[in-house]
Amino acid sequence: MSEYSEDNLVEQPAIGLFSELGWETVNGFHEFDSSGKSIFGRDARTEVVLRSRLRPALERLNPGLPQEAFDQAMEELTQDRSAMAPVQANREIYELIKEGIRVKIPAPDGQGETVETVRLMDWNTPGNNDFLLVNQFWITGEMYTRRADLVGFVNGIPLLFVELKATHARLEDAYNKNLRDYKDTIPQLFWYNAFIILSNGSRSRIGGMSASWEHFAEWKKINSEGEEGVVSLETMIRGTCDPARLLDLMENFTLFMEVQGGLIKLLARNHQYLGVNNAIEALKDIKHRAGKLGVFWHTQGSGKSVSMICFAQKVLRNVPGNWTFVVITDRQELDSQIYKNFAAAGAVTEKEAQATSSQHLRQLLSEDHRYVFTLIHKFRTEKGEPHPVLSKRDDIIVITDEAHRSQYDTLAMNMRTALPNASFIAFTGTPLIVGEEKTREVFGDYVSVYDFRQSVEDGATVPLYYENRIPELQLTNENLNEDMEALLEAAELDEAQEKKLEREFARQYHLITREDRLEAVAKDIVQHFFSRGFPGKAMVISIDKATALRMYDKVQKYWKKEMSRLMDEMATALTDDAREAIKEKLDYIESTDMAVVVSQGQNEIEEMKAKRLNIEPHRKRMISEDLET
């Protein structure tokens, strides 16, 4: 075998790392001897659970249970699930491994039976489990036989799958040419899988069994966020396959979520794993933090809601206490979205978890719930009225989304008054800025940081490119100050009126929202959208709700003008090819959807009418489509 082969350059070093981490390593190429006997005790290559390893582990982890309990547990775990969708089978087995298998044991006298739970893992003490890595492991499916590079078994259960390529090979080929084939030909192996690693030695990615290639992620850091990120197979293995980390990832950082299109499996990314564990460490020091667990700053688009769920679920499972999580947002849409995310992940099953009013919130906080979702505004009081104490429990954790907005000042103090012994943690996609003392007073300083630069480098967020476009604000009247002074003198205003007018004109709002400027911006948006060289999406962010509505109307106007221009151009086109090219543009324009998305507000219909705007059709669409999703 060449010294530059995949085996020498990639597979053997990887096996050496696993051995260093405490795994037993065995080559399975010649598993069956000439008599057909397997060194792993398998009866056939179709079996993927090593019963010879599983049963001793069950006996060791469940002392005192009869052999019949182990028989039932092994039968339940290894039953055929080929009729199920693979991800459904994976979730069902995941729950068995995580929670244990309930079995019925007949009473010795034959009268009745007892229900016992057979543990399959010792989550708290990794050394009590059996870790075995097999390289060159043969598996036979319904029609085909395949040989996996590395399969990691914990207590005889194949939790880890590693596909390796030669150093010169494209890593994508490990997914497209190998993994996809394995999932089709030997699907029973992936019913049990915790996660998958793909590597060519220099590049490595990790993902769940239902993940597409785009959702396989790098793992650059092992122990802390302060490390310099390194992309390597060694970092991947040490960061995810150390026995304690593997069990932690499986137990606390694996989610199954119902989304549009069906069930998916999510595995936390490197920054989520490190950040959540930082927050857990802060919680363990809760008595010395005076209720301030910190600010969890992970940039927009990097999976904050998944981090929230993993944090809450790990606390409930691993930190002693009768914990309640109060999840706070400042917009109805966010409140519904976060609740749906928790519900889709199976974290929340209570229908009463969302507060519908201030009174309902007070009721929920006086009861024993694991989760309460509410708008920050439901902590409001009548003017001059102090907020009542709702609970003196010290096992309430307030999770606030985007916590450092200016309107949180008073309401944050109301939260503190309502829950005097609670602990507070803020999850935000934007950094704290100078002057946000109230946020630090309530939450403390950063507990985890994952900024935009890191997110772009990791591929978790699409990079942003700034292009300065018209129209710029320019001062065309060089004598503006003198003219303003003359006008004020002629108006004969008193000092208070002058100050008020000065404050009003000091605001840039009037300049930014001038009709002629918005017209120029809308025209440029349409021109840029069709001339940028690729089809895609666009988002226009406006200074306020009224301006967003105005921009929608103005962009629609120039959108229609562009359609008319293209239709005229098609009518005078000289060739079929030219007409076809124009028709493609027209079809694209006609098929492109455009919508306004703005938060709800009291009296918004009347306020917009006063500005000669109609928000009702936009609001109806937002509500109807939100209900559909």
Tokens of 456: 């772009």
SS3 content of the chain, % helix, strand, coil (to 5): 45, 15, 35
Q: Are residues 436 and 549 in the same domain?
A: no
Sequence-distant contacts of 502-509: CB under 8 A, at least 24 apart? 508/473, 509/543
pLDDT, position 488:
59
Name residue 399's beta-bridge partners: 327, 425
Rounded-to-integer distance, Cα 446 and Cα 438, Å: 14
Segment 229-243 shows an average pLDDT of 95
Residue 435 pLDDT exceeds 80: no
**What percentage of the chain reaches a pLDDT higher than 70?**
88
Residue 440 pLDDT exceeds 70: no
Segment 390-396 shows an average pLDDT of 93
- pTM (two decimals): 0.79
Rounded-to-integer distance, Cα 441 and Cα 454, Å: 28
Segment 269-290 shows an average pLDDT of 93
Segment 472-501 shows an average pLDDT of 63
Q: Are residues 495 and 566 in the same domain?
A: no
Q: Are residues 357 and 208 in the same domain?
A: no
CB neighbours (10 Å) of residue 602?
Answer: 7
Residue 529, in any domain of the structure: yes
Residue 527 pLDDT exceeds 70: yes
Cβ burial of 188 (10 Å; 0-12, 13-18, 19+) is buried
Residue 466, in any domain of the structure: no
530 vs 619: which has the higher pLDDT: 619
pLDDT, position 254:
97
Q: Are residues 223 and 339 in the same domain?
A: no
Q: Dihedral through CA 296, CA 298, CA 303, CA 305, nearest 10?
A: 30
Pick from 155-159, 263-267, 487-491, 534-538: least confident: 487-491
pLDDT, position 108:
78
Cβ burial of 233 (10 Å; 0-12, 13-18, 19+) is buried
How confident is the model over 498-512, as pLDDT tens digits? 666 655 555 567 777
Rounded-to-integer distance, Cα 586 and Cα 564, Å: 9
Contacts of 46 (CB under 8 A, 6+ apart): 139, 140, 141, 188
Residue 469, in any domain of the structure: no
Residue 482 pLDDT exceeds 70: no
pLDDT, position 626:
61
Q: Output the domain CATH number for residue 418.
A: 3.40.50.300
pLDDT, position 553:
93
pLDDT tier for residue 3 given thresholds of 50, 70 and 90: very low
Phi-psi region of 175 (alpha: psi -120 to 50; beta: other; left: phi over 0): alpha
Buried b (16+ CB within 10 A) or exposed e, 542-579: beebbbbbbbbebbeebbeebeeebeeebeeeeeeeee
Tell me which range, 261-265, 507-511, 622-626, is most confidently predicted by mean pLDDT. Answer: 261-265
Pick from 39-48, 269-278, 306-315, 564-573: least confident: 564-573
pLDDT, position 434:
53
Residue 320 pLDDT exceeds 80: yes
Question: How is 239-263 classified by DSSP, letter by letter?
Answer: HHTSHHHHHHHHHHSEEEEEETTEE
Q: Are residues 12 and 159 in the same domain?
A: yes
pLDDT, position 1:
44
Residue 217 pLDDT exceeds 80: yes
Tokens 């938060």 sit on residue: 599
User: Can you tell me whether residue 428 is helix, strand or coil?
Assistant: strand
88 vs 9: which has the higher pLDDT: 88
Q: Are residues 112 and 91 in the same domain?
A: yes
Tokens of 398: 């307030």
Q: Are residues 196 and 292 in the same domain?
A: no
Are 424 and 442 in contact by the 8 Å Cβ rule? The answer is: yes
Residue 18, in any domain of the structure: yes
**What percentage of the chain reaches a pLDDT higher than 90?**
56
Structural domain total, the chain: 4
Rounded-to-integer distance, Cα 145 and Cα 163, Å: 16
pLDDT tier for residue 112 given thresholds of 50, 70 and 90: confident
In degrees, to the nearest 5, what angle opens at C-alpha 91 toward C-alphas 90 and 97?
90
Pick from 35-39, 125-129, 288-292, 491-495: least confident: 491-495
Rounded-to-integer distance, Cα 164 and Cα 11, Å: 7
Q: Are residues 349 and 413 in the same domain?
A: yes
Residue 468, in any domain of the structure: no
How confident is the model over 120-153, as pLDDT tens digits? 999 999 999 999 999 999 999 999 999 999 999 9
Residue 261, in any domain of the structure: no
Q: Are residues 27 and 55 in the same domain?
A: yes
Q: Which domain holds residue 572?
A: 509-628
Contacts of 368 (CB under 8 A, 6+ apart): 322, 324
pLDDT, position 588:
84
Q: Are residues 453 and 495 in the same domain?
A: no
Bond before 471 cis per omega within 30 degrees:
yes
Question: How is 541-562 classified by DSSP, letter by letter?
Answer: --SSHHHHHHHHHHHHHHHHHH
Residue 180, in any domain of the structure: yes
Taking Cα atoms as reference points, which of 16, 313, 346, 300 lies closest to residue 150?
16
pLDDT, position 126:
97
Q: Are residues 169 and 38 in the same domain?
A: yes
pLDDT tier for residue 300 given thresholds of 50, 70 and 90: confident
Q: Are residues 428 and 336 in the same domain?
A: yes
Residue 407 pLDDT exceeds 60: no
Taking Cα atoms as reference points, which of 221, 214, 341 lies closest to residue 272?
221
Q: Where are the alpha helices (H) located in 285-436, listed in sequence order? A: 304-318, 332-344, 358-366, 408-418
pLDDT tier for residue 96 given thresholds of 50, 70 and 90: very high
Question: How is 108-153 classified by DSSP, letter by letter?
Answer: TTSS-EEEEEE----SS-GGGS-EEEEEEEEEE-SS-EEEEEEEEE
Phi-psi region of 203 (alpha: psi -120 to 50; beta: other; left: phi over 0): beta
pLDDT, position 484:
60
pLDDT tier for residue 61 given thresholds of 50, 70 and 90: very high
Residue 464, in any domain of the structure: no
